[in-house]
């Protein structure tokens, strides 16, 4: 099954979650047993029942940066920038740029409070490099004037003003700034829930993969094997590699929270072990891939035809996964970033 058309499903628009759950760990969770083919319906807190002492839960501790800037061209037309790799790129910075009319090289853009930037390259496929005409570090500029870059399917034009996306669209354990999108499976955890897992003897470990545009870049090729993921920076600490490898040796289970965690672990794996280190991950996982590290996966419900649904299909099996998605639609689950969870045994 290497054709993009095989990874589509029908989703009513009203099931695309626009606001987060009132209580993160009380979100609904579809439990899919990939060996039995069974589907049950739980709450996220039921994960406690599936984990035992010595099992490892691996989290992606990247922090979403307010990397979206709204401004004006010299003509007065509106422009929107998204800085793609705010923690790892060098000046001039690679950006997605949107405007009503094409923007030329050397154009000057003006943002809030007089912040200015220069377009340094021709715009190709909506991307260019931009130099900010300000002496402050990029992360300081973005923290001061940027906003959270919500996915386009979350609408905020006249939408629910009571939602504090700067807080809601961030995991409670986010520690290392650099992502332009949240590792959304982690949005279901609270500090209290993580504490209860630790009390049970479950080992909580972290790695970092700065979620970038590549994770959500549309797959535009008919043959999924031809899709190229843009690289994203990752780091796996030695202590995380040690914990994961020890668990594998002892026959304990490793649960990845989110597809970004899966890609980092599998990219850094060799001979069934995780190697500590850092670098740039461009691993595309699709059906036929042989997993080396993970034993369980907690994830959200993903866009049809996306690289994320390809990865989850590789883990659960395409037919079983799409059957689970059909069941989630029937049961009125909430989909995408602010949506409900799926736990795949």
Say if residue 281's pLDDT is above 90: yes
The residue among 85, 117, 145 that closes a domain is 145
Say if residue 157's pLDDT is above 80: no
Give the residue-averaged pLDDT of 73-100: 92
In a domain, 177, yes or no: yes
Least trusted range by pLDDT, from 83-87, 246-250, 277-281, 319-323: 83-87
CATH number for the domain spanning 141: value is 2.40.10.240
Identify whether residues 104 and 41 lie together within a single domain.
no
pLDDT value of position 148: 92
Identify whether residues 233 and 100 lie together within a single domain.
no
pTM: 0.94
Identify whether residues 248 and 103 lie together within a single domain.
no
In a domain, 151, yes or no: no
In a domain, 157, yes or no: no
Say if residue 160's pLDDT is above 70: no
Give the residue-averaged pLDDT of 122-129: 92
Identify whether residues 273 and 310 lie together within a single domain.
yes
Identify whether residues 233 and 333 lie together within a single domain.
yes
Identify whether residues 124 and 243 lie together within a single domain.
no
Give the confidence band of 311 by pLDDT, cuts at 50, 70, 90: very high
* pLDDT, mean over the chain: 94
Identify whether residues 52 and 118 lie together within a single domain.
no
In a domain, 331, yes or no: yes
Identify whether residues 304 and 210 lie together within a single domain.
yes
pLDDT over 90 percentage in the chain:
90
In a domain, 249, yes or no: yes
Identify whether residues 79 and 117 lie together within a single domain.
yes
The residue among 80, 111, 145 that closes a domain is 145
Say if residue 161's pLDDT is above 60: no
Identify whether residues 303 and 213 lie together within a single domain.
yes
Per-residue pLDDT reduced to its tens digit, 7-43: 999 999 999 999 999 999 999 999 999 999 999 999 9
Per-residue pLDDT reduced to its tens digit, 220-234: 999 999 999 989 999
Identify whether residues 224 and 290 lie together within a single domain.
yes
Question: Which of 81-90, 134-143, 184-193 has maximum average pLDDT?
Answer: 184-193
Say if residue 159's pLDDT is above 70: no
pLDDT value of position 116: 95
pLDDT over 70 percentage in the chain:
98
Least trusted range by pLDDT, from 79-93, 285-299, 317-331: 79-93
Say if residue 280's pLDDT is above 90: yes
In a domain, 158, yes or no: no
Say if residue 163's pLDDT is above 90: no
pLDDT value of position 162: 62
pLDDT value of position 274: 98
The residue among 114, 145, 176 that closes a domain is 145
Say if residue 158's pLDDT is above 70: no
Looking at the 3D structure of the chain, how many domains does it have?
A: 2
| Residue numbers of the domain that contains 134 | 68-145
In a domain, 159, yes or no: no
Identify whether residues 106 and 174 lie together within a single domain.
no
Q: Return the HEC string of the chain.
A: CCEHHHHCCCCCHHHECCCCCCCHHHCEEEEEECCCCEEEEEEHHHHHHHCCCCCEEEEECEEECCCEEEEECCCCCEEEEEECCCCCCCCCEEEEEEECCCCCCCCEEECHHHCEEEECCCCECCEEEEEECCCCCHHHHHHHHCECCCCCCCCCCCCCCCCCHHHHCCCCCCCEEEECCCCHHHHHCCHHHHHHHHHCCCEEEEEEECCCHHHHCCCCCCEHHHCCCCCEEEEECHHHHHHHHHHHHCCCCEEEECHHHHHHHHHCEECCEECCEEEEECCCCCCCCCCCCCCEEEEECCCCCCHHHHHHHHHHCHHHHHHHHHHHHHCCCCECCCCCEEEEC
CATH number for the domain spanning 264: value is 3.40.1780.10
In a domain, 156, yes or no: no
């Amino acid at each position: 099954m290497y054709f993009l058309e095989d990874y589509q499903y029908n989703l009513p628009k009203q099931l695309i979650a626009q606001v987060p759950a009132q209580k993160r760990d009380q979100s609904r969770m579809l439990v899919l047993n990939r060996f039995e083919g069974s589907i049950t319906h739980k709450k996220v807190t039921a994960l406690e029942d599936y984990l035992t002492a010595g099992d490892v839960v691996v989290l992606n501790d990247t922090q979403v940066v307010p990397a979206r800037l709204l401004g004006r061209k010299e003509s007065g037309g509106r422009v929107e920038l998204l800085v793609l790799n705010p923690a790892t790129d060098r000046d001039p910075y690679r950006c997605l740029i949107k405007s009503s009319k094409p923007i030329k090289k050397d154009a000057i853009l003006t943002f809030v409070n007089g912040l200015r930037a220069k377009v340094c390259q021709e715009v190709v496929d909506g991307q260019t490099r931009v130099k900010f005409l300000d002496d402050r570090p990029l992360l300081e500029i973005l923290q001061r004037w940027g906003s959270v870059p919500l996915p386009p399917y979350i609408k905020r034009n006249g939408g629910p003003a009571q939602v504090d996306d700067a807080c809601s669209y961030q995991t409670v354990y986010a520690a290392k700034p650099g992502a332009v999108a949240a590792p959304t499976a982690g949005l279901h955890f609270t500090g209290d829930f993580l504490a209860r897992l630790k009390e049970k003897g479950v080992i909580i470990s972290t790695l970092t993969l700065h979620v970038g545009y590549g994770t959500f870049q549309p797959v535009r090729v008919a043959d999924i094997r031809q899709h190229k993921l843009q690289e994203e920076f990752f780091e796996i600490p030695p202590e995380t590699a040690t914990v994961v490898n020890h668990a594998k040796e002892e026959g304990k289970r490793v649960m990845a929270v989110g597809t970004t965690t899966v890609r980092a672990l599998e990219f850094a794996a060799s001979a069934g072990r995780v190697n500590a280190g850092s670098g740039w991950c461009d691993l595309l996982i699709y059906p036929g891939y042989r997993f080396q590290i993970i034993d369980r996966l907690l994830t959200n419900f993903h866009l049809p035809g996306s690289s994320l649904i390809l990865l989850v299909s590789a883990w659960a099996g395409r037919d079983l996964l799409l059957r689970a998605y059909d069941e989630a639609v029937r049961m009125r689950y909430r989909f995408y970033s602010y949506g409900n969870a799926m736990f795949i045994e």
